[in-house]
Amino acid sequence: MNQKQIEYFMTVYRHRNVQRAADELHVSRQGVSKMIRSLEEELGEALFQRTSQGLIPTPYANALLPHVNRIAEEYQHIARMRSLASDACRVVTIASMDHIMTYLGTAFITAFREAHPDITLSVVDTTDEKALQTLATESCDFAIVPGPVTEETFVSDELFYSRYAVRLRREDSLAAMPAITYRDLDGRLMIGKGRAYACFRRHMDNGVFLAGYKVDILAEISDERLITELVERTGAIAVGYDYSAFLYSSPQIVVRPFGENGGDGQWIYLVRRLHSPLTAAAQVFRDFLLRWLENHSMRNVPWPDEGRHAGVR
């Protein structure tokens, strides 16, 4: 899904009429219809039911809309990023998967500022897929995403290894287990970042649904603090990465490794475009970040007691 497809979808959804959408977009009616058809083919789902009274959004379109709205807002934010400084070469723009900067911490940000007061970091939290799309369109200097990364298009540096993890209430019967598998999720209430994120989608589609397990998804939320609170209040199990699982403390919650092997996870990468040279400021940021992770032993997320029987720190 590209920016133009998003614009056309949102306009048709708002007007429920192809001709009125075409008038607003200043394109032909046929152009709008073609764009919607191409998006439906790409997604593998119908977006509108065509009736004599106009277009009616399908349930899939209604579910898609809030995610599309968020992506559109991010496009607008990223487009404004470079206009904030008269010298764009001294601004480093980063499209990052959620909460990476929180993992690095305020110490990283302040240390970088003290070392390089002439460089401004401009970071947008987004989904991993959207971060790569933003990088591909040259709207940012770097993306920070999990691998694997397409080597024909991008160049990447390993930042840190993040294991898959679940958060659950301390009194949950699964909390006594050293690691949680897909089978353990069968019949349970779940929460996570949602299908807009590759990690959650991969686990739910491949590990749960295709295996025949049934789960009840309470909500799909990107706010890690809210996820923690909902686990605490509802008893839902949250699936995600260990770096984000340890961000917010709660004595009622424990974290366990997740996956069939207990140590399953992914490398998180700093990604740049293959054939686009870095600005001097971007090169400074890359070198500083890689040194910081090495010097502060952050290339593996630390687990209290190796994640066996410890709560969120």
Domains annotated for the chain, with CATH where assigned, are 3-70 (1.10.10.10), 85-160+266-295 (3.40.190.10), 161-265 (3.40.190.10)
Q: pLDDT of 148-158, one tens digit each?
A: 888 788 999 99
149, with CB counted inside 10 A (0-12, 13-18, 19+), is middle
Give the DSSP H/E element, type plus range, for residue 99: none
* Range in 6-10, 48-52, 139-143 with the lowest mean pLDDT: 48-52
Instruction: State pLDDT tens for residues 94-146.
Output: 999 989 999 999 999 999 999 999 999 999 999 888 898 899 888 899 999 99
Nearest to 223 by CA among 192, 254, 246, 189: 192
For the chain, report the end-to-end CA distance as a whole number of angstroms. 38
pTM score, whole prediction: 0.71
